[in-house]
Amino acid sequence: MIRRQKVIVSLLCAVLTVGLLAGCSGKNGNGGSGDKVTLRMIESLTSPKRTELIQAMITKFEEANPNIKVEFISPPFDQADNKIRTMLGSDEQLDVLEVRDLTVAEFVNNGYIEPLNSYTDKWKDFATVSAVSKSVGTVGDKLYFVPNGLYQRQMFYRSDWLKEAGLNPPTTWEELYDTAKKLTDPAKNRFGFSFRGGAGSNGTTDAMILAFNGDKVNLDDSMFTKDGATIYSTPEAKAAMELYLKLYKDASPPDSINWGFQEQVQAFTSGVAGILLQDPDVIQSLQEKMTEGTWATAPLVTGPTGKALFAAGGAGWGITAKSKHKEEAWKLVEFLSSPAENTKFSKDYGLIPIHSSATEDEFFKTGPYKTLIDMSNKPDTFVNYKPAFQYPGTGQWGQVTMETGQSLLLGKSNLEDTLKKWDEYWVDQKTTLKQ
């Protein structure tokens, strides 16, 4: 009898609780109380530590602007872009959002985000924003987001391994192959190169093909040569890919055919692989997990013509087209992008700051970041190009190269066919863009 009543009571409780929950759920803080404006902001490249840093900046902003409240949304990295897309496609309020180089074309194409030029015209600190940062956030002739820091690939290597083998850090792709091959000893579970054949594999293939093509590449439209053909159609591309295949077969863990970012970095930190090509935001992770003095950084390796092409990538803050509080939203973006805040954020998180003045900071002149400055001081060797983010197929490109590249590595398809597929993909992109 008692048991029975207990069940009924608890069921009743449950129903009541839900009623209460539903009752007090009238959130969406915008309920017109006074002049207080609530901004809703979302990030994309989430990690717990980064969220904390951004939240701290927001708190500072709110203290300086007591009439603005910021609701900060941090979806897990893995699902973030998908969530942002879905929110943008609905009527959910969103004012400030993190736009990535990979997503900007899509957002602009759908009219989701607002050009920022009219705001930056009046922004006093805009003058010190570096040209590269501006170019990352620009589609066509309009700026759509202000980057919150830049990524730029460099080389990380196990200095202790190289020393032990009496080798110098490689400077060309050929040398990188030789060095990596010498370091490789499968019996000891040691490999020279931390290869990435899974998600993001185009980071390696495109870098090699660009470096091999060298001067031929049209720097403003980097999937094409100056003659208008794709970079995949040249004999240099074939040479690059032949070396790529050798690099996988002779100097990389076989498992790495399916590795993405995380496994690639794990292999380096755990002492399975000796050379890693990555962006600077990996530095902190290396500092945490590896013993000091066992690793160092070096510039990107060059192709046969002595050039390495590199692009800066980045994500940053943009404003939604639907926002009802654009002035306040810009205030927030301006605050987050100010030299003081951005430099601090870049240091704390390990990115290249967006203000050229900030690179003068001691922090970026020493240690693992120094390489990046060194590279930018040699613009003839390390040539900056603009990635092809304006094409609709850019988002899919990673997936396409991954799958065709894997079947090439597995020997299921041959080099000529693979390059032909890639060539066709970009010819096709060009024609759709022209329409």
User: By CB under 8 A, which span of 102-110, 118-126, 322-330, 340-348 interacts with other proteins?
Assistant: 102-110
Q: Supply the DSSP string of 256-309, one letter for each residue.
A: GGG--HHHHHHHHHTTSEEEEEE-GGGHHHHHHHS-TTSEEEEPPPB-TTS-EE
Which residues in 201-240 contact other proteins (CB under 8 A)?
A: none
* Angstrom distance (rounded) from CA 426 to CA 50: 35
Q: Which residue lies nearer to other proteins by CB, 283 or 308?
A: 283
- Per-residue contact track with other proteins, 119 to 158, x per CB under 8 A? ----------------------------------------
- Per-residue contact track with other proteins, 180 to 199, x per CB under 8 A? ------x--x-x-----xxx
Q: Which residue lies nearer to other proteins by CB, 89 or 306?
A: 89
Name the residue with tokens 């601090």: 344
- Per-residue contact track with other proteins, 75 to 94, x per CB under 8 A? xxxxx--xx-xx--xxxx--
Does the protein bind other proteins through residue 332 (CB under 8 A)? no
Which residues in 378-407 contact other proteins (CB under 8 A)?
A: 392, 395-396, 398-399, 402-404, 406-407
Which residues in 402-431 contact other proteins (CB under 8 A)?
A: 402-404, 406-407, 409-410, 412
Among residues 167, 229, 245, 272, which is the contact residue for other proteins, using CB under 8 A? 272
* Angstrom distance (rounded) from CA 318 to CA 314: 13
Among residues 48, 66, 235, 379, which is the contact residue for other proteins, using CB under 8 A? 48
In 115-172, alpha helices (H): 117-120, 131-136, 159-164
User: By CB under 8 A, which span of 14-22, 220-228, 296-304, 341-349 interacts with other proteins?
Assistant: 14-22
* Angstrom distance (rounded) from CA 108 to CA 121: 20
> Do the Cβ atoms of 98 and 43 come closer than 8 Å?
yes
Per DSSP, the three-state class of 208 is helix
Name the residue with tokens 């929110």: 87
Q: Which residue lies nearer to other proteins by CB, 120 or 418?
A: 418
Does the protein bind other proteins through residue 171 (CB under 8 A)? no
Tokens in use for 196?
């990435």
User: By CB under 8 A, which span of 176-184, 222-230, 284-292, 294-302 interacts with other proteins?
Assistant: 284-292
Does the protein bind other proteins through residue 305 (CB under 8 A)? no
Nearby residues of 73 by Cβ (< 8 Å), 6 or more positions away: 40, 41, 42, 43
Does the protein bind other proteins through residue 71 (CB under 8 A)? yes
> Do the Cβ atoms of 389 and 383 come closer than 8 Å?
no
Minimum gap (Å) between residue 287 Cβ and other proteins: 11
Cβ count within 10 A of residue 78:
8
